[in-house]
Amino acid sequence: MDSLHGIEFYSGILLPGMVNAHTHLELSYLRGKIPEGTGLGGFVSAITACREATPESERRRAADVQDALMRAEGIVAAGDICNGDATFDLKKKSGIRYRNFIELFGTDPSVANTALRNGKALADEGRNEGLECSLTPHSTYSVSENLWKGIFTTRQDTASRTEKPLPPLSVHFMESPEETGIYRGTGRLAENNRKAGLHPDFLRYGSPTGRLTATLPAETPLLLIHNTFITEEDIDRLNDRFREITYVLCPRSNAYIEHAVPPVELLRRKGCRIALGTDSLASNTSLSVLEELKYLTARFPDIPLTELAGWATLKGAEALRADGWSSTFEPGKKPGAVLVEGIDWEHFRLTPESASRLIVPPGR
């Protein structure tokens, strides 16, 4: 058989194209510039300082490089957070299909109308260039009540006008204990608000989970990002309320910022749908989904490779609504093919030497 014309042989496993369910491509220029272990409050302050000191041309070059690296590794779809249009041009020609989440934030109610207007304009710009764009709040603790309501109303109006299903929300969630602390007036985030003279108008909900369950309809598709400090009570309340939740884990980023990892075993035990993201290069060394898989393999060696692979493919594709063309090898789909080499065949698991590359582009 090894002499048959046109047959290629590889030592490894084949996966359909992988999905990075959460990243910030436009922050690629921040690689290595933010110290580890700052906690969320310090991390946000450091990003702001670095952004102001970096020329736009450097930011765009860094995003181009990382887009190419993700593609070469085998990522065919990504959920990307956007605060501007810096990545729109590259996405029009990229081999990766991006779902662009136009992220809005503003604790001060007086900025809500401006933030919403700018977000709508950015989303329209992206759609006019053929990109998938929708509005999303940054988190439950960084968006005032009127901006929160405006985001949801705009999303519903857009879905009705375009006759498309309601797109998912991508919400940074329980990334730090400070997220709960802000509802109680404790922690660095709450202190930052006090110093800025801000008095959030959403504290009555009591917690991040309380705000989600009290304000969003049950049919809202949710991507909850990070979940590092989520509790069993949170999971039960969320799963009881919402019909479609994906818990997107970015474990290497969480280790970088908080020196903590999500409660993976708890999420598995509760039957949660799990997908993987990388977050940004402000808090990671690469935008590699395979490296997230390798990290999880080392930390949770009892999780089967077949399950982990599903988090990197099918579950992410379902979350981003890309499962109609990607995520599985089956008739009618063209997800591309990714070769993963360096497998521990005895235990059927990844190793530190495992590497991946796209060998068949999607759509072929």
pLDDT the model gives residue 150: 97
- Would 173 be classed as within a structural domain? yes
- Would 333 be classed as within a structural domain? no
- Determine how β-strand 273-276 pairs with β-strand 337-344: unpaired
Whole-Å CA distances, 72 to 67, 288, 294? 9, 10, 17
- Would 187 be classed as within a structural domain? yes
Q: How many domains does the chain have?
A: 1
Domain containing 256 equals 19-324
pLDDT the model gives residue 163: 74
Rounded Cα distance between 361 and 364, Å, is 6
- Would 283 be classed as within a structural domain? yes
Rounded Cα distance between 144 and 106, Å, is 6
- Would 64 be classed as within a structural domain? yes
- The number of C-alpha atoms within 13 Å of 13 and in the hemisphere containing its C-beta is 14
- Would 337 be classed as within a structural domain? no
Task: Report the share of the chain in percent with pLDDT over 70.
Answer: 93
Residue 250 has pLDDT above 80, yes or no: yes
pLDDT the model gives residue 47: 65
The average confidence (pLDDT) of the chain is 93
CA diameter of the chain: 74
Starting at the edge strand found earlier in the chain, the sheet holding 245-249 runs 169-173, 222-226, 245-249, 273-276
- Residue (of 30, 60, 26) closest to 43 by Cα position: 30
pLDDT band, very low/low/confident/very high, at 1 (cuts 50, 70, 90): very low
The string of DSSP letters for 188-213 reads HHHHHHHHTT---S-GGG-SHHHHHH
| Mean pLDDT of all residues in 167-188 | 94
CATH number of the domain residue 280 falls in:
3.20.20.140
Starting at the edge strand found earlier in the chain, the sheet holding 337-344 runs 13-16, 337-344, 349-360
pLDDT the model gives residue 7: 76
**Reduced to 3 states, what is the DSSP secondary structure of residue 79?**
strand
- Would 156 be classed as within a structural domain? yes
Return the HEC string of 115-146. HHHHHHHHHHHHHHCCCEEEEEECECCCECHH
- Would 161 be classed as within a structural domain? yes
Residue 193 has pLDDT above 50, yes or no: yes
| Mean pLDDT of all residues in 181-186 | 94
